[in-house]
Amino acid sequence: MSVNTFLWFDADAEAAAELYAATVPNSRVVEITRMGDGSAFIVSLDLDGQAVTLMNGGPGHPHSDAASLQVSVDTQDEIDRLWEALTGGGGNPGQCGWLTDRFGVSWQVVPAVLPELMGGETDRVIAVGTALRAMSKLDIAALQQAYDQA
């Protein structure tokens, strides 16, 4: 048995897969199944060890922020790089580390330390949560400061 994330696109699955593979370290396009006209139909992607399939299925099934891809990173530089790459070219920043890329796919770019900062004493959890809700792109130093000062 295997579990695989499957995303439906109108027509941009190949371009999305190329962006994702270039943006997320240790990722690659595994296989592209093409239609008779040469356009991509199914694109298999290894996204840092996670199997993701993208399909060009035509209109009628728009992406929603009810489902997202979450990337947990260690440094602010990684957050900044991913944020820029995924919001670039028509993507939109959201709140609390969420964004929508130019293909309409929702992402969460979060620091790996966030669960630690959101755990523990109630005052610290409240302080970090308050700081987090005021942010679009997450700022590790500001979250840590909220934690330390609570």
Residues 100, 65 contacting (CB under 8 angstroms): yes
Name the average pLDDT for the chain: 97
pLDDT the model gives residue 42: 98
Domain 63-150 has CATH 1.20.58.760: no
- Rounded Cα gap, residues 24 and 40, in angstroms: 21
- Residue 19, both tokens: 């962006």
Q: What is the mean pLDDT of residues 116-123?
A: 92
Q: What is the mean pLDDT of residues 119-146?
A: 96
pLDDT at 120 over 90: no
Q: What is the mean pLDDT of residues 53-76?
A: 96
pLDDT at 9 over 90: yes
Residues 56, 15 contacting (CB under 8 angstroms): no
Q: What are the residue ranges spanned by the domains of the chain?
A: 1-62, 63-150
CA-based nearest residue to 83, from 103, 52, 108, 65: 108
Q: Give the percent of the chain with pLDDT over 90.
A: 98
pLDDT the model gives residue 137: 98
Question: Which residues are registered as beta bridge partners of 52?
Answer: 5, 45
- Rounded Cα gap, residues 72 and 80, in angstroms: 12
How does residue 64 score in pLDDT terms, banded at 50, 70 and 90?
Answer: very high
**Which strand (E) or helix (H) includes residue 98?**
strand 98-100
- Please list, in sequence order, all residues whose beta carbon lies within 8 angstroms of the beta carbon of residue 87, skipping any fewer than 6 positions away: 93, 99, 101
Q: What is the mean pLDDT of residues 95-108?
A: 97
Domains 1-62 and 63-150 in one fold: yes
Architecture, CATH, for domain 1-62: Roll (3.10)
pLDDT the model gives residue 26: 97
How does residue 39 score in pLDDT terms, banded at 50, 70 and 90?
Answer: very high
